[in-house]
Amino acid sequence: MQAQSSQGKITYDRISKLQFSFAGLPGGMEQQMPSSRTDKFELTYGNNQILWKGAETETDDNENSFQSENGAHVRMIVAGSNDVLYCNLETGKKVESREMMDKVFIVEDSISKLKWKMAGETKVILGHNCMKATTSRVSKRTTMNMDNGVMEKKEIEDTSQIIAWFATDIPVSSGPGEFQGQLPGLILEMDVKDGTQIYKATSISEKADLALIKEPSGKKRYTRAQFKEEVDKMMSEMNQGGGGNRRVIRMN
């Protein structure tokens, strides 16, 4: 069983619930915007390493554009859709390629582990027996709003309850997004933010191109704190330059 599960490729759907506010913009845009969005991701694992990235899909630009009754046009841009995450599960090293305002940052960090509780429940996902585990996480949530050409960024501290279902017959301590090195099995389903963001595995392959699992390349590397400083600086420069008449909705 260990040999059969030493490598593989999982495809996930990420379903996010959306909320919008258009202060000062008439035309009932809130009612025209979607209530949820589904994005596809790929997790490739092997040799105690993982690579997480967005899956290649054909996207129609019209699906992300909306127009109000008075002609106001809004385009929805998904922040981080080109980001890549590499993790070495043996050393605990994490390297991310983060895209921010058309600039790419290579961010180095270590894997953070949460304290999980086994819930004693089981279910079958894609033919694999899975156990339920729960945890809570205190984190800072970033919101960005464009108002009269000025980008406002706020950090809000909140606590979210997390539910994960991990496969007991795939002994790989991996899962969607940043949830690496967490449980003694591959996470196939996860409720990350009290139902506002859900990951679901849609396909599993026991074969993977291990040559693809490598650190993102880049000359300059940033720590997590340095990356935050760069983002704050870019926000400040955007505010000084003004935003014109465009309204941009960004999702994280």
Q: Is 161 among the domain residues?
A: yes
Phi, psi torsion values for 154, nearest 5 degrees: -130, 145
Q: Is 217 among the domain residues?
A: yes
Q: Is 61 among the domain residues?
A: yes
Supply the pLDDT for residue 148.
Answer: 65
Q: 234 lies in which domain range?
A: 7-251
Q: Is 205 among the domain residues?
A: yes
Q: CA 237, CA 100: separation in Å to the nearest integer? A: 13
Q: Is 2 among the domain residues?
A: no
| Domains identified in the chain, total number | 1
Q: Is 19 among the domain residues?
A: yes
Supply the pLDDT for residue 88.
Answer: 96
Q: For residue 147, give both structure tokens.
A: 């108002």
Give exposure, 47-63, as e/b (b: 16+ Cβ within 10 Å): ebbbbbbbeeeeeeeee
Q: Is 104 among the domain residues?
A: yes
Q: Is 1 among the domain residues?
A: no
Q: CA 48, CA 53: separation in Å to the nearest integer? A: 17
Phi, psi torsion values for 111, nearest 5 degrees: -70, 130
Using the Cα atoms of residue 100, residue 227, residue 164 and residue 168 in order, give the sign of their dihedral: positive
Phi, psi torsion values for 116, nearest 5 degrees: -105, 155
> Each residue's pLDDT tens digit in the chain (252 positions)?
444 458 999 999 999 887 666 555 555 666 666 667 889 999 999 999 999 999 887 655 555 565 555 666 666 666 667 899 999 999 999 999 998 877 899 999 999 999 999 999 999 999 999 999 999 987 766 666 666 666 676 777 778 899 999 999 999 999 999 999 999 999 999 998 777 899 999 999 988 999 999 999 988 999 989 998 888 888 777 666 654 444 554 444
